[in-house]
Amino acid sequence: MIPYGKHHIDEEDIQAVVDVLRSGVLTQGPAVEGFERAIAEYVGARYALAVSSGTAALHLAALAAGVVPGRSLITSPITFVASANAGLYAGGGVAFADIDPQTINMSPDSLKAALKTTPDVRAVIPVHFAGLPCDMPAIRSAADQAGAVVIEDAAHALGARYPDGQRVGCCAYSLMTIFSFHPVKAIAAGEGGMITTNDEHIYRKLLRLRSHGINKLDDPFEITEQTETDGVRNPWYYEMQELGFHYRITDIQCALALSQLKKLDGFMARRRVLVKAYDEAFADMAHCRPAQTSGQDWSGHHIYPLRIDFESAGINRTQLMQELKLRGIGSQVHYIPVPAQPYYRRLGFRPEDYPAAQNYYKEALTIPLYFDLAEEQQAHVIASLRDLLS
């Protein structure tokens, strides 16, 4: 079976994990810090904080940004539910800004409209869909004008660059950026996430929130008489100063991710070759086209989403997915618009309020894209689609 996405693990990755297992330190050790430093350096941010998942990263980022009851965040309707859920976890509200049909990313014009109609927006969470960077200068300027901060959801976009050449994650246009290291992502940790920022105050807050809200680094104590006995610091003493979480990640996961990061540029180069071959094949294929039609050169190429006119092709999506499966090809839909989910409908959202997202969803199909996808396998995917859509 050719899946729609898959990680690539080699002997070096395995050895890196074995080394941690033999080292005696399984968590809160040097691999976590090493991975954080490597990501900060790779993307060009001052601080990087590793956490247990991309979802945990979004939750902490929303809290650190100041999403609280009475304040909201705005994100894209075409994302994984976690981008929106972060606002609800933080006790705040959620709103959506419709997508640009050329990029499937949040449209800056829709964002401006949503900022006008949503009260007390604290954060905007653009999602770099499939790895394609959003129009960050426009999004940042709209957020600034509304007094909101920007948190980039770059779960799909490790390795991507903005048109100005800087790497996604450098936080040139945002207060924080989050990544995910789930196995279908650019690099795998098993599960894992990261938050990057250039703001020391935010970094310190994230550090505390990752570990129960307990003070970290040289954070001052609140109860000063507990800190010392006869001028000697009490070695057992710590303070929980706010309500935090246990969102730490292990050294086992970070050693794997660090080993993977060394191969990221190679992963990206292979994905680019595969994407180019797909783009060429679909340029003249009936009833189907690449979903993202501008800015592709900058993308992290996390997935390859197509738009298929099922009606004119005379086959529905279920039939097509079944036929592909019979030919050994996996496919998926990214994503069902979040406002269409039952939970969000119960909160009063209506998918028809986001027509560009709805139109995209009707036509969306993600086809296989990953480092180990062989030329013959890709040719089989293309030939099967040509056959089934003709």
Ligand X SMILES: Cc1ncc(COP(=O)(O)O)c(C=O)c1O
**Interface residues with ligand X (CB under 6 A)?**
53-55, 79-80, 82-83, 127, 153, 155-156, 180, 182, 193
Picking from 356, 358, 333, the residue whose alpha carbon sits closest to that of residue 106 is 356
CB of 328 to ligand X, least distance (A): 24
Nearer to ligand X, 127 or 389 (CB): 127
CB of 334 to ligand X, least distance (A): 8
Nearer to ligand X, 189 or 385 (CB): 189
User: What are phi and psi for residue 43, nearest 5 degrees?
Assistant: -90, -20
Nearer to ligand X, 194 or 356 (CB): 194
Nearer to ligand X, 72 or 83 (CB): 83
CB of 311 to ligand X, least distance (A): 28
CB of 56 to ligand X, least distance (A): 7
Nearer to ligand X, 83 or 107 (CB): 83
CB of 257 to ligand X, least distance (A): 12
Picking from 165, 151, 144, 179, the residue whose alpha carbon sits closest to that of residue 40 is 179
Nearer to ligand X, 83 or 378 (CB): 83
What is the rounded CA–CA span in Å between residue 315 and residue 288?
Answer: 12
Helix axes 30-43, 251-261, angle to 10 degrees: 30
Instruction: Point out the residue whose Cβ comes nearest to ligand X.
Output: 54
Nearer to ligand X, 61 or 324 (CB): 61
CB of 86 to ligand X, least distance (A): 9
CB of 218 to ligand X, least distance (A): 31
Nearer to ligand X, 80 or 278 (CB): 80
Nearer to ligand X, 92 or 126 (CB): 126
CB of 234 to ligand X, least distance (A): 38
**Residues in Cβ contact with 197 at an 8 Å cutoff, skipping those fewer than 6 apart:** 45, 46, 47, 49, 171, 175, 176, 177, 203, 206
Nearer to ligand X, 2 or 187 (CB): 187
CB of 77 to ligand X, least distance (A): 12
**Residues in Cβ contact with 11 at an 8 Å cutoff, skipping those fewer than 6 apart:** none
CB 360 within 8 A of CB 279: no
CB of 216 to ligand X, least distance (A): 23
**Residues in Cβ contact with 278 at an 8 Å cutoff, skipping those fewer than 6 apart:** 290, 304, 367, 369, 378, 382
